[in-house]
Amino acid sequence: MGRRQNGMEYERKKARLVNSLRGQGVSEKVLEAMKKVPRHLFVPEVHRDSSYVDTPLPIGYAQTISAPHMVATMCSLLELEKGLKVLEIGTGSGYNAAVMAELVGKDGKVYTVERIEPLVNFAKVNLKNAGYENVVVIMANGSLGYPAEAPYDRISVAASAPDTPRMLLDQLKKGGLMVLPEGDIYQHLYLIKKDEDGNIVKEDWGGVTFVPLVGEDGFRFQTKP
Q: Which residues are catalytic?
A: 66
* DSSP per-residue codes, 148-171: GG--EEEEEE-SBBSS--HHHHHH
Cβ 144 vs Cβ 167: under 8 Å: yes
Element (H, E) at 117: helix 117-130
Collapse the DSSP code of 65 into the 3-class scheme (helix H, G, I; strand E, B; otherwise coil) and give the result: strand
Q: Is the dihedral angle over the CA atoms 131, 135, 137, 143 positive or is it negative?
A: negative
- b/e map 118-150, b = 16+ CB within 10 Å: ebbebbbebbeebebebbebbebbbbbbbeeeb
Q: Are strands 152-157 and 172-182 parallel, antiparallel or unpaired?
A: parallel
